[in-house]
A and B are shown apart, each in its own frame.
Chain A
Amino acid sequence: MTERRQVLAVIGAGPAGLAAALAAAARGVRVVLVDSAAEPGGQFYRQPAPGLGARRPQALHHQWRTWERLRDGLATHLAAGRVSCLSDHHVWCVERDSGRFAVHALLGPEQREPASVRADGVVLATGGYEKVWPFPGWTLPGVITAGGAQAMLKGGLTLPGRTVVVAGTGPLLLPVATGLAAAGARVAALVESADPTTLVRRSAHPRNAVRGARALAAHPGKLAEAGGYAAQLLWHRIPVLRRRAVVEAHGRDRLESVTVAVLGPDGRPVPGTAQRLDCDTLAVGHGLLPHTDLADGLGCRLDGAGVHVDDEQRTDVPGVWAAGEATGIGGAALSLAEGHIAGRSAAARLNGTAPDPRSWAPAARSRTRLRAFFAELDRAYAAPVRWAENVPDATVVCRCEEVTAGAVREAVGSLGAGDLRTVKLLTRAGMGWCQGRMCEPGVAGVAGCDLTPGRRPLARPVPLGVLAAPPPPDAGTSPCPGTSP
């Protein structure tokens, strides 16, 4: 008698999900890899659409070798029928279903037709999305997120305009500025509100020396990467303006210029330092936030902004693992390490054995090092403290519902709202199409409330007909097109 193979659903085919899928498939578990995108790769390894016939996609990428390993590993498992790939599947909910799990998705860009997968275990590897603090003019066409500019470039081989300012804070701005320049945009400036050179200086400070130096010394690769970006910035003649911020974007129906000002030590723009830069595109970002809706819906504990996990990448819900940026922002290499550990742990546990953490010791070591490194980076890139009070009353903070900072302040002031939920109810901020994903940090900041991750029981808007209908047959057990059983 042959026992039914255990099925692991991996949601998200970025670095974390791919690493988890490969690790689990190599250890006797049947993997169903589910992603809303048309191709695997996630944000970091987003590939040009096949119809564009890119012969050198690596020109837009870093760590291409690693991608080749992931891609080829996936192809081998697909061909052997150990993994099936469900692309264009937008998962809106994962539910516990008599000891197993049901993964509910909507198909394709239309997102009307349902599809469901049954699994014995789930890895949540849903990554993150970008955070942008509001400022006057940020809703003008031509103002886009830094990661969005990168995604459109990598996937669609297109640029939003000719002259770009890249602004905000965080390490993502470096590949975005150099990537856009390499693809032919004129990058008028990289405006970074922090001064990340303090990362090196801080580690030289006796108080931080041990921790900082350890975090950095453990990462010669990361330093070289930073050095590489410095050389590319010089090569493309991209001026880097540190401790400065875009305080306003100007234009009537589309972006025409931005005002950049020096930030004082208190995080406020220093009077008399404003400088106007002409541009047709502003690529702006202030860090990333984890996608936690599916975990939240399953009842998994959150830890700050991300999903809480133990050393094996297990959430506190049995049978559910989480890996990569869904658990906290830390870059592609950390996502790979976490995904690998999650995949090995899941395979062992689904097969009824206790995993041996010694077998993934190298991945665990990189995880420790990279988490320490990103904690250091986070401190170096800490947002300017005063951004919220700099937002004028007339500025829209909730893009969907067009709620202004003034309306949010009124809800707190004269209407007495004391938390984010009440502010939302009074103003409709965060109640629109994006379900608050874009505006929550801004609204919380302007309101002076804590940023509590919004509860979104449905990770995607779901047509009523789908909610009312009986669940569709299991899509995960049939191999995907192009794979032999």
Chain B
Amino acid sequence: MNPLDLVGARPGAPFTVTFDGREIEVLPGQTIAAALWSAGVVAWRTTREGARPRGVFCGIGVCFDCLVTVDGRPGRRACLTPATPGADIGTQAGTGHDD
């Protein structure tokens, strides 16, 4: 069993995004976090002080642990942001700005 089968999902045609240069297949409607989880990726940010990896924690937009860089813009919450075809997603180091 998987979640898609459980609810009898018939998703629209998948599309691709890149994550740190590698292509990932995404189902329409999935957030960036859902797309990355489905591809087996659970970390996409490193912290400012300890450079420790982080990913989803609260899943609902409250904790800001899931920040990611999308098309060059850092600080996007992966759990809220829908993945769009061709998006260039990258691990966010620290604040994502050169500081």
Contacts and interface: CB of A to CB of B under 8 A. Distances in A.
Interface of A: 36, 38, 43, 48-57, 59-60, 109-110, 129-130, 139-145, 147-153, 155-161, 182-184, 253-254, 399-402, 432-434, 437-438
26 contacts: A43-B60, A49-B28, A49-B82, A51-B11, A52-B4, A52-B27, A52-B29, A54-B9, A60-B3, A144-B57, A147-B58, A148-B57, A149-B59, A156-B31, A158-B34, A159-B3, A160-B37, A182-B1, A182-B6, A183-B1, A183-B2, A183-B3, A184-B2, A402-B50, A434-B62, A438-B63
A160 B56 contact: yes
B9 A53 contact: yes
Interface centre among A158, A183, A434 (most CB of B within 10 A): A158
Contacts of B10: 53, 55
Contacts of B31: 49, 155-156
A38 B79 CA distance: 12
A432 B76 contact: no
B49 interface: yes
Nearest to B2: A184
B19 interface: no
A432 B82 CA distance: 24
A156 B28 contact: no
Contacts of B56: 144, 148, 152, 160
B28 to A, nearest CB: 3
Given A49-B29, A109-B80, A156-B33, A129 B60 contact: yes
Interface in B49-98: 49-50, 52-65, 67, 76-77, 79-82
A437 B29 contact: no
Contact of B7 (A57, A140, A152, A161): A57
A36 B79 CA distance: 13
Contact of A433 (B4, B28, B64): B64
A109 B82 contact: yes
Main secondary structure of the interface of B (DSSP, over half): loop
Interface in B20-62: 27-31, 33-34, 37-38, 42-43, 47-50, 52-62
B6 A402 contact: no
Given A48-B7, A52-B11, A142 B58 contact: no
A38 B67 CA distance: 19
Contacts of A143: 57
Contacts of A161: 42
Contacts of B30: 49, 51-52, 156-158
Contact of B48 (A38, A55, A402, A438): A402
B7 A54 contact: yes
A109 B59 contact: no
A157 B9 CA distance: 9
B53 A54 contact: no
Contacts of B57: 143-145, 148, 399, 438
Contacts of B5: 184
A148 B78 CA distance: 13
B77 A109 contact: yes
A382 to B, nearest CB: 23
Given A53-B11, A253-B43, A402-B50, A152 B37 contact: yes
B71 to A, nearest CB: 11
A18 B34 CA distance: 26
Kindly list the 8 A-B residue pairs having the minimum CB-CB distance in the complex, ordered from nearest.
A148-B59, A49-B29, A156-B34, A51-B29, A51-B28, A433-B64, A55-B8, A141-B43
A142 B29 CA distance: 23
Interface centre among A53, A183, A432 (most CB of B within 10 A): A53
A155 B34 CA distance: 9
Nearest to B43: A141
A159 B62 contact: no
A129 B9 CA distance: 28
Given A53-B9, A399-B65, A434-B62, 4 more contacts: A38-B82, A148-B60, A182-B1, A399-B57
Given A151-B59, A402-B48, A434 B3 contact: no
